[in-house]
């Protein structure tokens, strides 16, 4: 299994967790690292929020040592503000900073942030330059294939980032216009890989070890980033690592699965108390997919705020249910 060299950082496993807004908090990152993710990222951290010292924003940038290696992902429409944020957050000593040039949310793009940078590549260059000047840590970039099917400019964006000193680039094989709909076009990832010398991380539609192998083979990318495929199944990281090592994928018992789910619940409560328990509801919903009685379980647990009650309800369900043969939820 090949290691990935990102600047001075060496990542042992080429299977990464994507930065997911509202999802990849400390608890989920810890679970994914435990499940085999080689590198994790924070949720999107607003550079403006850092500038104004907003407590919620600063909380998003915090992490535990057990999560390493970890990257802080920054977003803003303003290159100077991105540089300032990196300089301020450098004291947290993340393993790298990642610049979000791929968020397709309309209100974000309209401001020129996220994937809005793909519509103004000189400004993208300026942003990479500003952040690299503000920190000695590796700086990476996450982009999409382009604003639309008529403007697939990922190759130029990647080359610009490399020219400014970016240490790696992640390419999500969808356009800004697609959002998360349709099928990811991995050929764009392959084109970027051919055009730059820095590591390229492929992203989009990897939901199984077979998908991972196909992406690596079809694109030649150096690492694979998994986002939505890990929701409710963080074991996907272990499955991918085992596959790369030539090992059989481990079929987990309900007890083994519950052990990780329980750890996730406990980590969420330790990090955010009752708020963490409420935020775990969506994860418990994802964990329950394909199990008998999942719909009733969700209806019950989504009304629970008490940590102990949530833990007991989840324990009872996951240790006393079974998969539905045809995977139809019920």
d(CA 208, CA 323): 18
State the Cα–Cα distance between residues 98 and 240, nearest whole angstrom.
23
* DSSP 8-state class, residue 66: G
Q: Are 301 and 287 spatial neighbours (Cβ–Cβ below 8 Å)?
A: no
Report strand pairing: 168-175 vs 200-203.
Answer: parallel
| Distance in angstroms (rounded) separating the CA atoms of residues 73 and 138 | 12
Beta strand 15-17 with 40-46 is unpaired
Query: How many C-beta atoms lie closer than 10 Å to residue 282's C-beta?
Result: 15
Burial 109-138 (b: 16+ CB within 10 A, else e): beeebbbbbbbebebbbbbbbbbbebbebb
Q: Considering Cα of 24, then 25, then 28, then 34, what sign does the dihedral take? A: positive
Catalytic annotation on 240? no
Which residue is catalytic, options 26, 32, 103, 240? 103
Q: How far apart are the first and last CA of the chain?
A: 39
Q: What is the DSSP letter of 204?
A: S
Q: What is the DSSP letter of 104?
A: -
Cα-Cα-Cα-Cα dihedral sign, residues 314, 316, 317, 320: positive
Please give the positions annotated as active site: 103
């Amino acid at each position: 299994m090949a290691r990935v060299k990102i600047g001075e950082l060496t990542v042992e496993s080429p299977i990464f967790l994507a930065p997911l807004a509202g999802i990849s908090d400390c608890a989920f990152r810890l679970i994914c690292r435990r499940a085999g993710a080689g590198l994790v990222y924070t949720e999107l951290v607003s550079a403006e929020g850092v500038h104004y010292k907003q407590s919620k924003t600063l909380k998003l940038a915090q992490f535990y040592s057990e999560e390493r290696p970890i990257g802080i992902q920054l977003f803003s429409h303003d290159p100077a503000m991105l540089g300032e944020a990196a300089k301020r957050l450098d004291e947290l000593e993340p393993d790298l900073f990642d610049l979000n040039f791929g968020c397709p949310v309309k209100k974000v793009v309209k401001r020129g942030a996220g994937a809005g940078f793909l519509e103004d590549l000189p400004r993208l260059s300026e942003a990479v330059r500003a952040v690299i000047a503000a920190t000695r840590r590796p700086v990476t970039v996450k982009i999409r294939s382009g604003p639309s099917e008529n403007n697939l400019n990922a190759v130029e964006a990647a080359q610009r980032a490399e020219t400014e000193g970016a240490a790696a680039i992640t390419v999500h094989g969808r356009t800004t216009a697609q959002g998360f709909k349709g099928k990811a076009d991995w050929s764009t990832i392959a084109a970027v890989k051919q055009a730059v010398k820095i590591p390229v991380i492929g992203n989009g539609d990897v939901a199984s070890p077979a998908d991972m192998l196909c992406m690596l083979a079809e694109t030649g990318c150096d690492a694979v980033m998994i986002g939505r495929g890990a929701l409710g199944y963080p074991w996907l990281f272990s499955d991918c690592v085992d596959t790369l090592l030539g090992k059989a994928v481990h079929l987990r018992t309900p007890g083994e699965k519950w052990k990780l789910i329980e750890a996730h619940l406990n980590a969420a409560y330790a990090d955010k108390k009752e708020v963490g328990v409420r935020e775990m509801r969506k994860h418990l919903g994802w964990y329950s997919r394909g199990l008998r009685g999942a719909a009733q379980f969700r209806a019950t647990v989504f009304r629970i705020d008490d940590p102990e009650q949530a833990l007991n309800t989840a324990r009872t369900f996951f240790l006393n249910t079974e998969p539905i043969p045809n995977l139809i939820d019920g």
